[in-house]
Amino acid sequence: MPVGKNNFIQTDLVAKLFSSPNFKIWAQHAAKVNKQYPEGAILAALTDVFGEKEVATMILVGKLRWRSKSIAQKLEAAQFNKWYSKGLTADDVFWQVLKANRGKIRGYGRFMGIWEDYSKYIIKRVVNY
């Protein structure tokens, strides 16, 4: 199922994918296969198909629609845990994962949202530690 046109990920298409019956069935299967970390298994499979940068963007826009918000939040937590366990800072994610110029952060609206959400996640992890 396509999630965008002309290399632009569309919010409605992502919401449609995340809320589709086929995705839900596949996600349930992934949860059965990997009972300890089902969201991580789903994230790994999506990353293999779409790429890490695209999945990060899909998660960000998926949180904007009520029908895909729940799964997007779970996938975001799995993705942030993955990045945090690798020792990536928010700036590292911007450079290495999103492959964007940190000096021009204002020019990347979606990437800035990912950077901001991950920055907040890191702060919460450090404060709660």
The pLDDT of residue 5: 60
Domain locations along the chain: 4-128
pTM of the model as a whole: 0.86
Read off the pLDDT band of 109 (50, 70, 90).
confident
pLDDT tens digit sequence for 62-104: 999 999 999 999 999 999 999 999 999 999 998 999 988 777 7
Rg (CA), the chain: 14
Per DSSP, the three-state class of 5 is strand
Per-residue tokens: 45: 């499979």
Average pLDDT, the chain: 88
What average pLDDT score do residues 27-33 get? 85
